[in-house]
Amino acid sequence: MTTVTAPLPTATTRKRRSLASWTSDQLDLIVTPVLALILLILLVVVWTYSTFDLTTERILEPSQLARQLWQQLYVAFFSTVIVVAVAIPIGILVTRESAPKVKDTLVSVLGLGQAIPAYGLIVLFFVWLGQGPTTVIIALATFALLPVLRNTIVGLEQVDTSVIEAGKGMGMTGVQRLARIELPLAVPVIMAGIRTATVINVGMATLAFLIGGGGLGETINAGLKLNRPTAIFIGAVLVALVALLFDFLGGLAQRYLRPKGV
């Protein structure tokens, strides 16, 4: 009987694999800052060389923009924190052996909830809770819950059962297997869901002004109503910069929180 031995990888093969790994790990951490820099340069150029009339000056008053930018960051950040604090524990619970039916029902219900347009969801929460940033935060968290929950479930379920069984064989408890094996291996998928939810929250936070939540939507809305394209452009670029910032931070977390070799 002849035994066939697989050839060892050559130096060229190892180099190609290393290059592919570097590309997948580093590309988004390079592209995002580059895009942000391009947008920032465009913003500075437009701000410096555009001629503002009195109306545009009032819309783009620096202290007002700073306040709106802070409100945008505040709403987007805390809505994402709530999403992470709620979705990940629920995702862990429904992937345990005793809750498969709960998982399917929950994902279906949240899927129906996300089908509601963002504007309609904000209005519904306004009717229920009144106006203000807290209402916007709860509405955004509800809308962005599904991506993180779904990715948490997918990330945990894709962990190789043989690895989990090996943990059992080593005498690990269920909590230890979750903390040392399942969650670390699921980090890349979970973080991808968090990045998606963050971008959703930043975009939807632009609608916060509709119910007294402030944000950069005030500038964009004023520019639309008063036909001031420069104000619209500057407001939109600031929103895009906030989204890129959050996405870049999520990319860093996704890169450095996952175990080595994954």
Least confidently predicted of 19-23, 38-42, 247-251: 19-23
Domains of the chain: 25-257 (1.10.3720.10)
Mean pLDDT to the nearest integer, 173-191: 82
Unique residue bearing structure tokens 């809505």: 79
129 contact partners, CB below 8 Å, separation of at least 6: 135, 138
What pTM was estimated for this model as a whole? 0.80
pLDDT tens column, 186-213 = 888 888 889 888 988 888 888 888 888 8
Average pLDDT of the chain, as a whole number: 80
Structure tokens at 151: 């990715």
209 contact partners, CB below 8 Å, separation of at least 6: 215, 217, 218, 221
pLDDT tens column, 69-101 = 999 999 989 999 999 999 899 888 888 766 656
What letters, b where the CB count within 10 A reaches 16 and e where it falls short, cover 81-106?
A: ebbbeebbebbbebbeeeeeeebeeb
